[in-house]
């Protein structure tokens, strides 16, 4: 149920709670009491790994809620946050990984989280202007000061990861990874395995699509930002629904839900250390975290892989 985060000495639950949904920027109907209850349900279910970021929500609502929820158990949880991405006044995304900006964001994050250290601090994204070595040196200083116990990087190419790691030792990489998006299998995963760096993947549920409750007859709220992703539009949408039909049959035969089958499949892939399941309601994370305790047999995995190959290639 737990894995080592590279050579950092940190032990993390293999399902981490992703705290983007409670930020409410793309998710509808977020309610503070439900968000706090979601974090509590994760802890109660055995999760110790929480993933947030400076930019999750207007004025850091995600970090603030996490800080509030885990204050009484701070030393029992692994808090991961990220710096290097913020929102402009018009809420457009700005990647700024300059050392000055990273310093400002990280100190702000510590205050919002109500803590004097984070366990894992990621560079949220290289910014394509700042030399990545400069960003790496800035994060290395937080490691040396003890304000960050381990360092990670997200949304980076293997070349960027290599350059960063040469300056600042990485404990973890956070790329997207799910049944539809598997590009890291050919580059980042082999690199991370060779270097003993953890892979903490995001989007295992592809923003809820692979949770299996958004089916052909789903009527999307026009405010639902997921509609902008190609996977929620034809022709990808139809292929995804056909895959879900097959996954449902396999999940039923194993007395699992589709979400549990999908997360268990993700955790069974070589090189995946942990995966981040987003949730904004307690029942959602209670469902997905059960996958930490589910081991799929080689036959089950072969059936799932055949379904993926049939529908997605
Ligand atoms: N490093 C990065 O750049 C980056 C980017 C993206 C994500 N992340 C991290 O990865 C985490 C996961 O990504 P995500 O939250 O965007 O997407 P996700 O985990 O793929 O999907 C989360 C969504 O799935 C739905 N869901 C969850 N459990 C469910 C269940 N049991 N049954 C039905 N629906 C369920 C919820 O949608 P509803 O709104 O329909 O309830 C929830 O908002 C994030 O929270 C964040 O921590 C990092």
Percent above pLDDT 90 for the chain: 93
Of the pLDDT bands very low, low, confident and very high (cuts 50, 70, 90), residue 231 is: very high
In this structure, is residue 72 part of a structural domain? yes
Domain range for 137: 2-208+258-294
Mean pLDDT, range 223-242, rounded to an integer:
91
Please tell me the distance from the alpha carbon of residue 159 to that of residue 138, in angstroms, as a whole number. 19
In this structure, is residue 312 part of a structural domain? no
Mean pLDDT, range 154-174, rounded to an integer:
98
Q: Are 239 and 180 in contact (CB under 8 A)?
A: no
- Sign of the C-alpha dihedral, residues 147, 79, 149, 46? positive
Span 45-65, pLDDT tens digits: 999 999 999 999 989 999 999
Span 257-313, pLDDT tens digits: 999 999 999 999 999 999 999 999 999 999 999 999 999 999 999 999 999 999 988
Mean pLDDT, range 105-125, rounded to an integer:
98
Nearest atom, ligand 1, residue 259 CA = 31
Can you give the pTM of this predicted structure? 0.97
In this structure, is residue 151 part of a structural domain? yes
Nearest atom, ligand 1, residue 209 CA = 24
- Ligand 1, atom 26: closest residue by C-alpha: 208
In this structure, is residue 98 part of a structural domain? yes
Tokens at residue 215, please?
Answer: 């089916």
Nearest atom, ligand 1, residue 281 CA = 41
In this structure, is residue 224 part of a structural domain? no
Is residue 173 helix, strand or coil? Answer: strand
Q: Identify whether 229 is a catalytic site residue.
A: no
- Tell me the CA–centroid distance for residue 19 and ligand 1, in Å: 8
The ligand 1 site (C-beta within 6 Å) comprises: 18-21, 27, 51, 154-155, 174, 202-208, 211, 213, 259, 276-280, 284, 287-288
171 C-beta neighbours (distance < 10 Å), count? 28
| Most informative mutation of 19, 21, 157 for ligand 1 (most atoms within 8 A of CB) | 21
E-strand spans in 32-117?
49-51, 78-83, 85-87, 93-95
- Ligand 1, atom 45: closest residue by C-alpha: 18
Helices and strands in the chain: count of H runs, count of E runs? 10, 12
The answer to whether residue 222 scores a pLDDT higher than 90 is no
In this structure, is residue 169 part of a structural domain? yes
How confident is the model at residue 82, as a pLDDT? 98
- Tell me the CA–centroid distance for residue 33 and ligand 1, in Å: 18
Of the pLDDT bands very low, low, confident and very high (cuts 50, 70, 90), residue 27 is: confident
Count of structural domains within the chain:
1
- Tell me the CA–centroid distance for residue 49 and ligand 1, in Å: 15
Span 195-213, pLDDT tens digits: 999 999 999 999 999 999 9
- Tell me the CA–centroid distance for residue 63 and ligand 1, in Å: 16
- Tell me the CA–centroid distance for residue 180 and ligand 1, in Å: 15
- Ligand 1, atom 42: closest residue by C-alpha: 279
Q: Give me the long-range contacts of 73-77 (CB less than 8 A, separation at least 24).
A: 73/43, 74/115, 76/48, 77/43, 77/48, 77/49, 77/50, 77/119
Nearest Cα residue to 279 out of 1, 31, 64: 31
Q: Are 162 and 191 in contact (CB under 8 A)?
A: yes
- Ligand 1, atom 14: closest residue by C-alpha: 278
In this structure, is residue 7 part of a structural domain? yes
Please tell me the distance from the alpha carbon of residue 209 to that of residue 215, in angstroms, as a whole number. 8
Give the CATH number, domain containing residue 91.
Answer: 3.20.20.100
In this structure, is residue 283 part of a structural domain? yes
| Most informative mutation of 16, 18, 213 for ligand 1 (most atoms within 8 A of CB) | 18
């Amino acid at each position: 149920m737990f894995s080592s985060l590279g050579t950092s000495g940190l032990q993390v639950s293999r399902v981490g709670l992703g705290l983007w949904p409670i930020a409410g920027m793309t998710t509808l109907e977020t309610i503070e009491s439900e968000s706090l209850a979601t974090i509590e349900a994760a802890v109660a279910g055995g999760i110790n790994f929480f993933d947030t970021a400076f930019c999750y929500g207007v004025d850091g609502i995600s970090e603030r809620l996490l800080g509030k929820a885990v204050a009484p158990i701070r030393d029992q949880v692994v808090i991961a946050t990220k710096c290097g991405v913020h929102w402009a006044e018009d809420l457009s995304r700005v990647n700024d990984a300059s050392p000055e900006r990273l310093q400002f964001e990280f100190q702000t994050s510590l205050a919002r989280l109500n803590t004097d250290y984070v366990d894992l601090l990621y560079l949220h994204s290289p910014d394509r202007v700042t030399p990545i070595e400069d960003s790496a040196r800035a994060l290395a200083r937080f490691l040396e000061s003890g304000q960050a116990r381990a360092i990670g990087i997200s949304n980076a190419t293997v070349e960027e990861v290599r350059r960063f790691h040469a300056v600042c030792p990485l404990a973890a990489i956070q790329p997207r990874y799910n049944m539809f998006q598997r590009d890291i299998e050919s580059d980042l995963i082999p690199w991370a395995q060779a270097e003993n760096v953890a892979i903490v993947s995001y989007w295992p549920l592809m923003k809820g699509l692979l949770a299996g409750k958004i089916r052909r007859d789903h009527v999307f709220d026009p405010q639902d930002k997921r509609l902008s992703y190609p996977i929620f539009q034809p022709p990808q949408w139809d292929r995804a629904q056909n895959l879900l039909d097959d996954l449902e049959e396999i999940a039923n035969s194993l007395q699992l839900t589709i979400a549990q089958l999908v997360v268990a499949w993700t955790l069974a892939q070589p090189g995946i250390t942990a995966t981040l399941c987003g949730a904004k309601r307690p029942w959602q994370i209670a469902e997905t975290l059960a996958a930490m305790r589910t081991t799929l047999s080689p036959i089950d995995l072969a059936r799932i892989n055949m379904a993926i190959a049939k529908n997605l290639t």
